[in-house]
């Protein structure tokens, strides 16, 4: 690990990063490989807990810490990175906004890896436009009845509990949403997996008059947008960290290959057309890493809002990662497209982060609005 690449880290942060790198390569990657693509890997989740990573999410993970763990996991085991991130995303609203008795019921189980969480926001007609959510939550006695559909929900349909967002006031846009903790065994809740090119557990949820007691409301009624944004503000910079980890893995593979591959009477690295491309990638990856660190540091320092900083970090890092993987495949040639090759795997992994938790176009819109508002 280059000293200058991570010169922005403290000794404690560097130690956490290096320990997570080692754990991902030696322990978590074999567990991920033994799982079934597209299915929830509970042994992997439990291993994240047993080795202390899930515990760092509770009670109050820092944004920088979150980014360091996600980047390090992504370098050697994207499945472990995703399992860690989704557990944090799904449990954070319960931790921050759930009533004490609800948090006491779920947080110890989530921290130990006994239970798995999901973050149920996206719907068939509303993704990045959270204000467009339409899943209904109608008052019913001591709680609400939820009806509608969620799609592209990580860990669905097998998560044990979902932080789920529904509309309690029709026509009110972002101001009429409420967050709920919905257990998997709730009557009327069903689901099915969705097969994506990236083989993570993800699926569709269907709710048919699902009764959720008032004690399972997260935060306040009609204030669910703030619950969602509070979670996403913390996690959005770390999506950039995930992307940086993948970009670095692709760059490392390309450099190793170019330094050893013989072609045209010398090494590939002797060809300026190759080496200069990799120099550009290395520069962009480091710039992305520092943008992510800057946004996370601002969050940890209590600066609010960090909306623009987080948008810049996610936008630049995810777009850079896509470019880094593409260049690395071009340097390798056809062998990188063989099933089982690291770069073939990264090629399927790297595309989704440009969409989820706010597509790149949404991030550009956020940045542009801030520019003209100022």
Per-residue pLDDT tens digits for 118-129 = 999 999 998 778
- Decide if pLDDT at 1 tops 70: no
Residue given tokens 């083989």 in the structure block: 199
Q: Cβ contacts of residue 52 below 8 Å, gap of 6+?
A: none
On whether the pTM is more than 0.85, the answer is: yes
Domain parsing of the chain, residue ranges: 11-112, 117-221, 226-373
For the cut 90, the answer to whether the pLDDT of residue 130 exceeds it is no
- The catalytically annotated residue of 357, 361, 365, 374 is 357
Same fold across 117-221 and 226-373: no
Q: Which residue has the higher pLDDT, 98 or 200?
A: 98
Hey, what CATH topology would domain 11-112 get? Butyryl-Coa Dehydrogenase, subunit A; domain 1 (1.10.540)
Q: Give the HSE-up count for residue 198: Cα atoms under 13 Å, Cβ half-sphere.
A: 19
* Phi (first) and psi of residue 277, to 5 degrees: -60, -45
**What is the number of residues in the chain?**
374
**What's the rounded Cα separation, in Å, for the pair 120 and 123?**
9
Question: What is the Cα–Cα distance from 256 to 276, expressed in whole angstroms?
Answer: 15
Contact 155, 201 (CB under 8 A): yes
Percent of the chain predicted with pLDDT > 90: 93
Residue 116 pLDDT more than 70? yes
pLDDT digits (tens, 9 = 90+) for 299-321: 999 999 999 999 999 999 999 99
Residue among 3, 1, 48 nearest 27 (CA) = 48
Q: Report the top-level CATH class of 117-221.
A: mainly beta
- Cα 128 to chain centroid, rounded: 15
Query: Reduced to 3 DSSP states, what percent helix, strand and coil does the chain have, rounded to the nearest 5?
Result: 60, 15, 25
Active site residue 192: no
pLDDT in tens, 147-175: 999 999 999 999 999 999 999 999 999 99
- To the nearest 10 degrees (0 to 180), the angle between helices 63-76 and 224-260 is 40
Residue found by looking up tokens 């009845």 in the block: 145
For the chain, report the end-to-end CA distance as a whole number of angstroms.
Answer: 39
Let me know the angle formed at the C-alpha of 182 by 176 and 184, rounded to the nearest 5 degrees.
Answer: 150
CATH superfamily assigned to domain 226-373: Butyryl-CoA Dehydrogenase, subunit A, domain 3 (1.20.140.10)
The tokens describing 154, both together, are: 């990580």
Closest CA to 242 of 129, 346, 342, 337: 346
């Amino acid at each position: 690990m280059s000293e200058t690449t991570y010169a922005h880290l403290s000794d404690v942060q560097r130690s956490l990063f290096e320990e997570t790198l080692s754990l991902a390569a030696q322990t978590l990657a074999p567990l991920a490989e033994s799982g079934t693509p597209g299915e929830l890997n509970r042994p992997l989740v439990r291993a994240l807990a047993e080795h202390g990573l899930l515990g760092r999410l509770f009670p109050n993970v820092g944004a920088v810490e979150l980014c360091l763990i996600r980047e390090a996991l992504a370098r050697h085991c994207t499945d472990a990175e995703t399992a860690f991130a989704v557990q944090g995303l799904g449990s954070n609203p319960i931790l921050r906004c759930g009533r004490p008795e609800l948090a006491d019921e779920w947080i110890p189980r989530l921290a130990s890896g006994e239970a798995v969480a999901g973050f149920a926001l996206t719907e068939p007609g509303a993704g990045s436009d959270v204000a467009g959510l339409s899943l209904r939550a109608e008052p019913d006695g001591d709680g609400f009845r939820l009806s509608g559909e969620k799609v592209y929900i990580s860990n669905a349909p097998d998560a044990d509990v979902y932080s789920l967002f529904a509309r309690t006031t029709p026509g009110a846009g972002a101001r009429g949403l409420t967050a709920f903790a919905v257990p998997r065994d709730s009557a009327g809740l069903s689901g099915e997996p969705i097969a994506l090119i990236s083989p993570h557990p993800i699926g569709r949820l269907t709710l048919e008059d699902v009764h959720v007691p008032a004690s399972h409301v997260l935060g306040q009624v009609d204030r669910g947008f703030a619950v969602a944004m509070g979670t996403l503000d913390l996690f959005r910079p770390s999506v950039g960290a995930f992307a940086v980890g993948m970009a670095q893995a692709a760059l490392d593979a390309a450099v190793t290959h170019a330094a050893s591959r013989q072609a045209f009477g010398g090494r590939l690295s002797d060809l300026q057309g190759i080496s200069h491309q990799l120099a550009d990638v290395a520069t962009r990856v480091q710039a992305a890493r520092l943008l992510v660190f800057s946004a996370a540091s601002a969050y940890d320092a209590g600066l609010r809002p960090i909306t623009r900083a987080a948008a810049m970090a996610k936008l630049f890092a995810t777009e850079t990662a896509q470019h880094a993987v593409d260049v690395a495949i071009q340097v390798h040639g056809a062998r990188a497209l063989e099933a089982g090759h690291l770069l073939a795997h990264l090629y399927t992994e790297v595309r989704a982060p440009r969409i989820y938790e706010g597509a790149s176009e949404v991030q550009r819109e956020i940045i542009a609005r801030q520019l003209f508002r100022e």
